[in-house]
Structure 1
Amino acid sequence: MQDHSARPAAAAEDSPRGAEIAGIISEFSEIFASARTRWVRYAEEVHPELNGGGIMVLQTVLRKGPVTATGLSQMLGMDKAMVSRHISKLRDLELIEAEAAPEDRRVILLTVSERAQELMERIREQWAHSYHERFEGWSVESLEQLRAGLHRFNASAEDAHRAEGPAMRCARDHGGGAEDPRGTAG
């Protein structure tokens, strides 16, 4: 009798479903590589001192803000120290603003500056144009099927467990956990 428990992933790839999932993983890998390259290029367009990680943080604050540094760390799956470095740089470049939450002054909420909003709008236009070009010739039904599948896939991901405390209670309605983005209490 063979022990198949030692190689569950390999056995799964031998099935038609497993082969399809392996193909999807490969396609996602290409998407991620392309996105990383694009993020770096867009970061340079926003500011020459900005890198790919910084633009990801900025984009997340734009979409999810006001948000806290802890919330960003959880959303992006990044180490808190790395997020703090990105936030510090973004603040130095006047792309992110930080202020105490009205509900609890110890909680620091991050938002993008007006200048960053304008720059990111230009980037979004470029990004949208690029996607429109890539989806040229796709039917509305095919686009809807892709969107629905990606939505279902994204919705199935487990959310990170969040600790409850005064910062979390205060920031819950603001998109994330709390701490001063420069590493000190607000």
Structure 2
Amino acid sequence: MSTDEAIRSVGESFDRIAVGARRSTRLAAAALAPDLQPAAWPVFREVATVGRVQASAIVAALGMDKSAVSRHLKDLREHGLVDAERDEQDARVFWITPTPEAVARLARITATQQARLQERFASWDDDDVARFATLLARFSGAPDTD
């Protein structure tokens, strides 16, 4: 396969992955709260990953519009998935944290997603999975996983 053909194949594969990622996001958001908008999922994941974060950091991390992040945070608060507390030193600052119930739901969702990936890679040998993980991390700009 030529380099041009390989790159074309990569692009087509990413298109299929994007469809699957949107489906996964919809399922994850629905598992978190049945009527939660899928676009709120990455906002929640950022809060859950960081643990205690300001809305401005979520905007920067996700490259989302500030008003969209605010809307999603409001929705997440209304669903009891995140708390917002004023900073003790600066009342203008709010800290966003995941609720214990949301953390428990996330653990179940993550386990389900992990099981799907395990099933997907079941026929791959361990070296292929490791090589794929390394190449994907390299491509996506993630820190080295070695």
What does residue range 66-145 of structure 1 map to in structure 2 within 5 Å?
Answer: 66-101=52-87, 104-145=90-131
Unaligned runs of 5+ in 2: none
Give the match for residue 4 of structure 2: 18
The runs of 4+ residues in structure 1 deviating greater than 6 Å are none
Query: Could you say which structure has the greater relative contact order, defined with CA pairs below 8 angstroms and 6 or more residues apart?
Result: 1
- Sort the Cα spacing of 1:18 and 1:50 in 2 relative to 1 into closer, same or farther, 3 A: same
Kindly name which structure, 1 or 2, has the bigger radius of gyration based on alpha carbons: 1
Aligned counterparts of 2:60 and 2:4: Cα–Cα separation in 1: 30
Aligned counterparts of 2:75 and 2:140: Cα–Cα separation in 1: 30
Aligned counterparts of 2:107 and 2:19: Cα–Cα separation in 1: 23
Aligned counterparts of 1:64 and 1:22: Cα–Cα separation in 2: 36
1:153 and 2:143 equivalent? no
Partner deviation per Cα, 1:72-102 (whole Å, 9 max, x = no partner) = 1222221111111000000111101112345
TM norm structure 2: 0.87
Instruction: Supply the AA of the counterpart residue of 2:119.
Output: E
SS of aligned partner of 2:36: coil
How much has 1:62 moved relative to structure 2?
A: 0.8
Aligned counterparts of 1:25 and 1:73: Cα–Cα separation in 2: 28
- Sort the Cα spacing of 1:49 and 1:140 in 2 relative to 1 into closer, same or farther, 3 A: same
Q: Which moved more, 1:136-145 or 1:64-73?
A: 64-73
1:52 and 2:50 equivalent? no
Aligned CA RMSD, in angstroms, stands at: 2.1
How much has 1:103 moved relative to structure 2?
A: 5.8
Give the match for residue 65 of structure 1: 51
- Bigger fraction of residues in helix: 2
SS of aligned partner of 1:137: coil
Instruction: Supply the AA of the counterpart residue of 2:31.
Output: E
TM norm structure 1: 0.70
Q: Which moved more, 1:117-126 or 1:40-49?
A: 40-49
Instruction: Supply the AA of the counterpart residue of 1:63.
Output: T
Q: Which moved more, 1:70-79 or 1:83-92?
A: 70-79
Aligned counterparts of 2:89 and 2:7: Cα–Cα separation in 1: 46
Aligned counterparts of 1:18 and 1:68: Cα–Cα separation in 2: 43
- Sort the Cα spacing of 1:18 and 1:64 in 2 relative to 1 into closer, same or farther, 3 A: farther
Give the match for residue 23 of structure 2: 37
Identical pairs, percent: 29
Unaligned runs of 5+ in 1: 1-14, 157-186
